Amino acid sequence: MSLAETTADTADATRSTAATPFPRRRGAFGRLLRSELGLTLGRRRNQLLLALLTAVPVLLGIVLAIVSDSAYAGQGPGFIDRVAGNGLFLVVTSLFLCTPFLLPLVTSIAAGDAIAGEAGAGTLRYLLTVPVRRGTLLAAKALAVMAFMLVAVALVTAAALLAGGLLFGFDDLSLLSGQEIPLMDGVLRMLGVAGYVAMSLTGLVAVGLFFSTLAEVPVGVMAATVVVAIVSTVLDSLPQLSAIHPFLLTHHWFDFAEFLRFEVSWSLLGQGLVVQAAWVAIFGSLAWARFTTADITS
């Protein structure tokens, strides 16, 4: 072999070696993310939770159909009374009832299992032997929990649309301000409601992941995460603390009602998303700092 050929082969090998780490890292993260998604969505308990959440709009629709002509008709928030006239309102009603407790509970369970569950089971130590950075592993787990939460909101929305259409039918959407918009615009508004609810839970995901890095008992993490949402709601109800209300985790959770107004206040919705982004940034950073420096021995 000539000197020129040898030099060329060496250069090719050098380029190949230099280029290898990036595809491997991307491939490793993709495999890790798929594994975390499969683990989170494949757990029997999580599947049961999703099934129960999906049943909520169906049961709610049946109950509202039964009482629509009784003395209980007209009680509750205005959009609940409108379900009998338009099945689209079942989406708002279902998310309104699931947002204060059920969706946060499901999110907390997934976040608690993400790290604390594996630490308690003794599998986290072996997972850390995978040749990826701890920050990368945390990102994969966070995305898996986020995906589980999105699936939960999507299933509630889809079940509400199906049950609402079958039980009450669809019609042009009559907004809370009195105006009517076409049916397809109404469907888009309902999808906007679902999207905003999902985005409003991202801060809770970050809180749950941070707590999950602090303990090895997932039940405690789940309880602590739910308590954060409950305490935020209690503080938000105290007028004496109005100065901190805009910064509380749950303060903007029900701003999705803006989608039921003719003129949507995008600035108000934006404020809610900014607050969630701040909670994600703060508790995501705390989770990263804890997870990347902790001495994992179990």
Per-residue pLDDT of 213-256, as tens digits, reads 998 888 999 999 999 999 999 999 999 999 999 999 999 999 99
pLDDT at 25 > cutoff 60: no
pLDDT bucket at 149, cuts 50 / 70 / 90: very high
Query: CA-CA distances (angstroms) from residue 287 to 40, 141, 144, 208?
Result: 19, 11, 15, 9
Residue 185 lies in a domain: yes
Residue 4 lies in a domain: no
Tokens describing residue 283? 């508790």
pLDDT at 26 > cutoff 60: no
Q: 50: closest CA among 148, 176, 131, 130?
A: 148
Whole-prediction pTM value? 0.86
Burial 48-69 (b: 16+ CB within 10 A, else e): ebbeebbebbbebbeebbeebe
Residue 1 lies in a domain: no
Residue 242 lies in a domain: yes
Q: Which residue has the higher pLDDT, 60 or 129?
A: 60
The amino acid that residue 292 corresponds to is: T
Residue 177 lies in a domain: yes
Q: Domain count for the chain, please give it.
A: 1
Domain that holds residue 108: 11-293
Percent of the chain with pLDDT over 70: 86
Residue 3 lies in a domain: no
CA dihedral of 211, 215, 219, 222, whole degrees rounded to 10: 0
pLDDT at 297 > cutoff 60: no
Residue 2 lies in a domain: no
Residue 222 lies in a domain: yes
pLDDT bucket at 145, cuts 50 / 70 / 90: very high
State the pLDDT at residue 156.
98
